[in-house]
Amino acid sequence: MPLPLLVALATYTSHARASPHIWPSPKLDALESARFDQFGFNAGIMPGFIQPCDSFLFADDTGRSNAADWIRTAYHDMATHSTTDGTGGLDASIRLDAEMDRPENAGDGFRNTFIIVSGVTNRYLGIADALALAAVVAIENCGGPEIAYRGGRIDAIEANTPGVPEPQQDLRSHIASFARQGCTQTEMISLVACGRVSLHSFGGVQHDPFPNIVDELNDPENTDDIAHFDTTFVHFDNNVATEYISGTTQNPLVVGFNDTTNSDKRIFGNDGNATMRSFADSPSLFTSTCAELFARMIDTVPSGVQLTDVITPLPVKPDNVELTMVNDTIRLSGQVRLWNTDQASAGTVGVLWDDHLGGQGNTTFAFAGTASSIGGKYNSVWYGFNAITPFGFIGLDAAAGIERFRFVVNGKLEDREGVGFEVQDAYMFSLTSCLYSLNGGEDPLRLDVAVRNDVNPTRIYAESLVFDGFGRPTIAETDIPRPDQPVAINAAYSLWSLNASAIDLGDVTIGAEIDGKRYSTVQRRSVLLFPSCDGGISGPTQPGQGLEL
């Protein structure tokens, strides 16, 4: 049988390649942030919705949780996969009414899930990647194992073929369904058990969508009439297995009053309880099995979809690095994250930079904040590119510019073995732009871009984030015309300008094609200093260091 060998090889290769990517790489940088900046400074908002793990955003229902909904949604989305024809898989097709409204997707947990998941997407994090991440974040932060996460899923625009297993179906059809999804019978038992335990006692079966399984409970603490899968609360553990083996389980899909819908009982007993017994005997086997199967679950995608390598945290990560041209000065702002350390160990944090003229500059950084990830397993510290305030900037001479920086952490050079962190200053936002009008909208808005005279871009364009008819985040590009005559800003840069009255400048970024490569600026954070069209705001004096809120 060549197949198991191939699978083994693929697994081996993926582990061997799991090393941090090279910054800057906008999509991977963004996936890394979404995946690892979970709580604290610069954190995304998604993990907050499962803190604590029994949080439930919708109505005042007790007994339900966002975390359980996210994991179930990820499974149901993936469960349409067919290993035969390569269709289906984790592609967020379940968000589409044609799929969500099918009987196999009973309940409102799916709709609830996308209210949060679709809200955290961005140009680099699509809906399916965000859904996969939601499951990972929920499992990891609610006591479960750390799960390998990759990006690159493609958001479906039509429903997949039905095929999610339902509790009233018989064992034969469940075996067939899991086989179609790519699971052996042992993996079927394992994945179902993992899906049950990762929820502790806050996942379960509700009376409303499943009246034949759960009776009305008449419990004021449990207004949704949820029958829970096991009795543990805080820790991810193998209680789903120990309680099943000892005959004390309350799992409504094992001991439900209606045997037709006792699907977990049929599945868990399928191998004479061997798999469940091995989980009851070994919590660590259970945990490692779940980590592997959850990763496979979210990586089950339609054929042709190319996932990224496993996203691993960058030990030293610059973020929000933003350059702004102001007269003769480039303002450089941003932050750097030091992974898995604390402020005392980080000591003094600073930066050296190389310019285009062979010179070097340096400064120390201001402490910005702490952050944590994966149930507090990792802590990190953030510093801002300014000695006084993390939201300030460093003023650079425009002619000298910047090529790369190297960080200095507690006296130790962090420059990736001499490679450094490359910074592009070929083009940048110019503060001569006017992005809003104070005169009742009379003045035309203008986006000004400073372009370095010794580079010759093929194109410069404004990028606006728009959501298409399927809710997918996409970028709309508006070309910025090359000026007929160069308009000098200073000795090294000249101006390209766009009459931007027709585009939303609130979250605009600037793209460029230079020597066949595409670049994109980060979204401007210095919102308060967006210039107005009556020339009112010019910002603090330069050169040197200043505050940019």
Q: How many CB atoms lie within 10 A of CB 97?
A: 9
By beta-carbon distance, which residue lies closest to ligand HEM?
195
Determine if 263 is a binding residue for ligand HEM (CB under 6 A).
Answer: yes
Determine if 193 is a binding residue for ligand HEM (CB under 6 A).
Answer: no
Among 88, 89, 204, 473, binds ligand HEM (CB under 6 A): 204
Peptide bond into 145 cis (omega under 30): no
CB 78 within 8 A of CB 181: yes
User: Residue 506: which of ligand HEM, ligand NAG, none does it interact with, CB under 5 to 8 A by kind?
Assistant: none
* H or E stretch covering 449: strand 446-452
CB of 84 to ligand HEM, least distance (A): 19
Closest to ligand HEM by CB, 28 vs 78, is 78
Q: Which of 442, 450, 468, 354 is nearest to 402 (CA)?
A: 354
Q: Which of 546, 28, 16 is nearest to 317 (CA)?
A: 28
User: Residue 360: which of ligand NAG, ligand HEM, none does it interact with, CB under 5 to 8 A by kind?
Assistant: ligand NAG
For residue 230, what are its two tokens?
A: 């096991």
For residue 250, what are its two tokens?
A: 């309350």
Among 167, 313, 420, 546, binds ligand HEM (CB under 6 A): 167
Contacting ligand HEM within 107-146 (CB under 6 A): 107, 109
Closest to ligand NAG by CB, 57 vs 255, is 255
Closest to ligand HEM by CB, 199 vs 398, is 199
d(CA 494, CA 377): 48
Q: Which of 75, 40, 38, 60 is nearest to 199 (CA)?
A: 75
Residues 6+ apart with CB under 8 A from 159: 93, 96, 98, 99, 102
User: Residue 237: which of ligand NAG, ligand HEM, none does it interact with, CB under 5 to 8 A by kind?
Assistant: none
The DSSP bridge partners found for residue 388 are: none
Determine if 318 is a binding residue for ligand HEM (CB under 6 A).
Answer: no
Mind spelling out the 3-state secondary structure of 398-429? Answer: CCCCCCEEEEEECCEEECCCCCCEECCCCEEE
Determine if 199 is a binding residue for ligand HEM (CB under 6 A).
Answer: yes
CB of 255 to ligand NAG, least distance (A): 9
- Residues in contact with ligand HEM, counted by CB under 6 A, come to a total of 25
CB of 159 to ligand HEM, least distance (A): 20
Q: Which of 210, 286, 216 is nearest to 245 (CA)?
A: 286
Tell me how far apart the terminal alpha carbons of the chain are, to the nearest angstrom: 62
User: Residue 375: which of ligand HEM, ligand NAG, none does it interact with, CB under 5 to 8 A by kind?
Assistant: none
d(CA 464, CA 435): 14
CB of 200 to ligand HEM, least distance (A): 10
Closest to ligand HEM by CB, 111 vs 356, is 111
Closest to ligand NAG by CB, 141 vs 542, is 542
Tokens 């007929």 belong to residue: 484
User: Residue 210: which of ligand HEM, ligand NAG, none does it interact with, CB under 5 to 8 A by kind?
Assistant: ligand HEM
User: Candidates 63-71, 242-250, 376-384, 460-468 — which segment interacts with ligand HEM by CB under 6 A?
Assistant: 63-71
User: Residue 327: which of ligand NAG, ligand HEM, none does it interact with, CB under 5 to 8 A by kind?
Assistant: ligand NAG
Binding site for ligand HEM (CB under 6 A): 64, 68-69, 71-72, 75, 107, 109, 165-167, 174, 191-192, 194-195, 199, 203-206, 209-210, 263, 267
